């Protein structure tokens, strides 16, 4: 059985599949050429990340040839899941594999923002030798994360992983999920020990009101959750981190809040117009930016590849 890993797969995942008798093709095929390529090369399963789309028209064009669609990651906005399943196609993803890497990116942005590293990393190479004292003074208003309140919207695997890290830093947590509930959170340590605590999730309005920093972890591309009204309900000088989906935060309203001083800074790993983000977002002096790399760690890619391989072996071998 032949598998097309159109957006790539880790070597460990590829090897596990090949050791179990599958042929893995890692050719990167353009979206408009996918149908012909799959037909001509007798591909039975396709693995994608966020770049490749598997929509109804592609599924229909293959006349039942496709047996499985795999998404390396959590969200499946680029796949017509229900339609594929209605045609008897297995649709799988890897919801747990990238939680740690996304959570660490959240804190990479948080640490960079509170000490203005996103700005100083640009200005030091240009002005560090001539304006050292001025730069030092302009960044002396940094703050610590300890004791601050981290608001988490979406308290699934990633949101909970973010909370574990935040507790380790001495932050307070206020979280919102689909409905209020009590979440038992286990926090493991490197020596094998762990502690447990309980998180009572609440509504989004309460999170917005209390958060010094807001981080968003919901699925659903194009679903605007944070706009002008929500930002106005937040604390003055608060910050927003979006590593979830482009469009979850209204970028126009976000920039206005940053320019007015309502928000102090924001971090974006995802954008409304990927892969061509708006230039005014990219040029804002108040934003910490990364190019959709939430799951882009070597460890996460290995976990994703191996988890996909395990599911494929179970379903198709």
Task: Name, in order, each residue with C-beta under 8 angstroms of 127's C-beta and a sequence gap of 6 or more.
Answer: 134, 135
Q: Give the CA count within 13 Å in the CB-facing half-sphere of 298.
A: 1
DSSP state of 297: S
Element (H, E) at 292: none
Q: Which residues pair with 287 in a beta bridge?
A: 266
3-state helix, strand, coil in the chain (%, to 5): 40, 20, 40
Q: Which of 292, 303, 306, 307 is catalytic?
A: 292
H or E segment and range at residue 214: strand 213-216
Catalytic-labelled residue, pool 100, 245, 264, 303:
245
| Dihedral sign of CA atoms 161, 167, 169, 173 in order | positive
Classify residue 222 as exposed, middle or buried by CB count within 10 Å of its CB (0-12, 13-18, 19+): exposed
**Catalytic residue status for 292:** yes
Is 11 one of the catalytic residues? Answer: no
Whether residue 275 is preceded by a cis peptide bond, meaning omega within 30 degrees of 0, is yes
Q: Is 274 a catalytic residue?
A: yes
Q: Which residues are catalytic?
A: 245, 274, 292
């Amino acid at each position: 059985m032949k598998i097309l890993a159109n957006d790539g797969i880790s070597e460990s995942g590829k090897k596990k599949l090949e050791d179990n008798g599958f042929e893995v093709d890692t050719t990167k095929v353009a979206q408009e050429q996918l149908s012909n390529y799959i037909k001509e090369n007798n591909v039975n399963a396709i693995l994608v990340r966020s770049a490749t789309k598997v929509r109804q028209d592609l599924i229909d064009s293959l006349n039942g040839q496709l047996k499985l669609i795999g998404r390396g990651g959590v969200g499946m906005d680029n796949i017509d899941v229900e339609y594929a399943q209605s045609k008897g196609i297995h649709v799988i993803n890897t919801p747990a594999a990238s939680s740690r890497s996304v959570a660490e990116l959240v804190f990479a942005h948080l640490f960079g923002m509170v000490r203005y590293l996103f700005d100083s990393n640009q200005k030091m190479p240009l002005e560090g030798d001539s304006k050292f004292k001025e730069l030092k003074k302009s960044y002396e208003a940094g703050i610590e994360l300890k004791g601050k309140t981290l608001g988490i919207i979406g308290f699934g695997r990633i949101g909970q992983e973010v909370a574990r890290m935040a507790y380790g830093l001495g932050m307070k947590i206020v979280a919102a999920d689909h409905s209020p509930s009590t979440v038992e959170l286990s926090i493991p340590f490197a020596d094998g020990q762990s502690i447990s605590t309980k998180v009572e999730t609440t509504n989004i309005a309460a999170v917005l009101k209390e958060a010094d920093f807001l981080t968003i972890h919901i699925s659903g591309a194009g679903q605007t959750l944070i706009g002008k009204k929500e930002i106005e309900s937040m604390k003055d000088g608060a910050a927003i981190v979006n590593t979830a989906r482009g469009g979850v935060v209204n970028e126009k309203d976000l920039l206005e809040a940053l320019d007015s001083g309502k928000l102090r800074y924001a971090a974006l790993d995802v954008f409304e117009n990927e892969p061509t983000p708006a230039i005014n977002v990219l040029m804002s002096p108040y934003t910490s930016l990364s190019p959709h790399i939430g799951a882009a760690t070597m460890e996460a890619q290995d976990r994703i590849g191996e988890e996909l391989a395990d599911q494929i072996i179970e379903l198709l071998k």
